[in-house]
Structure 1
Amino acid sequence: MKKRLAVGFTGPSNSGKTTLMLKVARKLIHEHGLEVAIIKHDPKDKARFDVEGKDSYKFSDTGAEVIVTSPTRTTYFSHRHSELDDMIRLFHSFDILLVEGLKGLPLPKISVFRNVLDEDYFPFMNALAIDESINIVDYKIPNDVEMLNLNDPDQVISWILKNAKEV
């Protein structure tokens, strides 16, 4: 079985987490030839995966666990909370798992910020991805936190390949 690595991305809304993850995922897939899986946390339960009136919506709306399969994709709708290990088992295979949110998970984490840092994230981060909008001398950043350029996905990928946790 091949080695599967996982890393988390944390930070407040509109900090650039999703944009950075998209850049990283595309490069890992298209330039490094790796299989990437992504888990996104939806803390406010806002995500919508189907359109009202369609069969998959009707099935999911019953409260049942639903899998919709087609020639090009499989989508899993669940009404239950899943732990990280349960979600990992749903993926057939991957080389790198990128998790957005869930800052309390026991994964190496990159915290993403623009304009201002929230020091409440400091205990949960292993790396800090920021841009020039943040003046780091204004903050007491823990010594063991590695600084990354938010606009340099190659630097972020290097950190991931060196620090991600085997899952």
Structure 2
Amino acid sequence: MIVFGVAGWSGSGKTTLIEKLIPEFSARALRVSVIKHAHHGFDLDRPGKDSWRHREAGAARVLMLSGERWVLMNELRGEPEPGLDEQLRLLEPSDVVLVEGFKAAPVPKIEVWRAASGKEPLWPDNPNVVAVATADAIDCPHPVLPLDDAAAIVNFILEHPSRR
């Protein structure tokens, strides 16, 4: 399984880049999964729906399925957030897992950076950044990838020696 992160400041275009990478990997007959780490709470459920009511009643896990998809919701109820390795085990068998967030996780990362953000790049302080995807000129010791060229970025990921 290839595990590669996409890192950057909020609003830098991480999600947009991942949206472009997924079909590029899929066109190469690779099964792609994504882990998105949120720093804030989120809910896939709506109050009043059956699954919401089951969780509110105290269920630790609720599995919902249909003929089109399934989802497993797990309530932590005060327990620590599971680590990246545990989450990766849940995504087997995937060929490629793209990780958005988890800036400190020890997986190779492509940083999405835009000068217009006014923020400093992450790569000087993050040893896991192995390349920068940008449309801006940048003086960087890492490979600089064209932000609008998903095929080039996928090639970089597939050929990178530190891919997990």
Question: TM-score by structure 2 length?
Answer: 0.85
Report the CA distance between 1:63 and its aligned residue: 5.5
1:148 is paired with a residue whose SS is strand
Distance in 1, matches of 2:93 and 2:99, equals: 15
Distance in 2, matches of 1:158 and 1:117, equals: 28
The C-alpha deviation readout for 1:77-136, integer Å capped at 9, x for no partner, is 1223111121112124110000001111110000101224523443321110111xx342
The C-alpha deviation readout for 1:48-78, integer Å capped at 9, x for no partner, is 2122111112223335222222222221212
Report whether the alignment pairs 1:122 with 2:124. Answer: yes
Q: Which is worse superposed, 12-21 or 77-86?
A: 77-86
Report whether the alignment pairs 1:153 with 2:150. Answer: yes
Distance in 2, matches of 1:154 and 1:123, equals: 27
Work out the percentage of aligned pairs sharing the same amino acid.
31
- The structure that is helix-richer by fraction is 1
What is the root-mean-square deviation of aligned Cα atoms in Å? 1.7
**Contact residue 111 and residue 132 of structure 2 kept, 8 A:** yes
**Contact residue 14 and residue 112 of structure 2 kept, 8 A:** yes
Alignment size in residue pairs:
154
* Equivalent position to 1:53, from 24, 35, 48: 48
1:123 is paired with a residue whose SS is coil
> Which 4+ residue blocks in structure 1 deviate beyond 6 angstroms?
none
* Equivalent position to 1:70, from 66, 73, 76: 66
Q: One-letter code of the match for 2:147?
A: L
Question: TM-score by structure 1 length?
Answer: 0.84
Report whether the alignment pairs 1:91 with 2:87. Answer: no
Gaps of 5+ in 1: none
Gaps of 5+ in 2: none
Q: One-letter code of the match for 1:6?
A: V
1:66 is paired with a residue whose SS is strand
**Contact residue 111 and residue 122 of structure 2 kept, 8 A:** no
Report the CA distance between 1:41 and its aligned residue: 0.6
Report the CA distance between 1:12 and its aligned residue: 0.8
Distance in 1, matches of 2:59 and 2:14, equals: 31
Q: Which is worse superposed, 151-160 or 83-92?
A: 83-92
Q: One-letter code of the match for 2:45?
A: D
Q: One-letter code of the match for 2:163?
A: K
Q: Which is worse superposed, 100-109 or 82-91?
A: 82-91
Report whether the alignment pairs 1:42 with 2:46. Answer: no
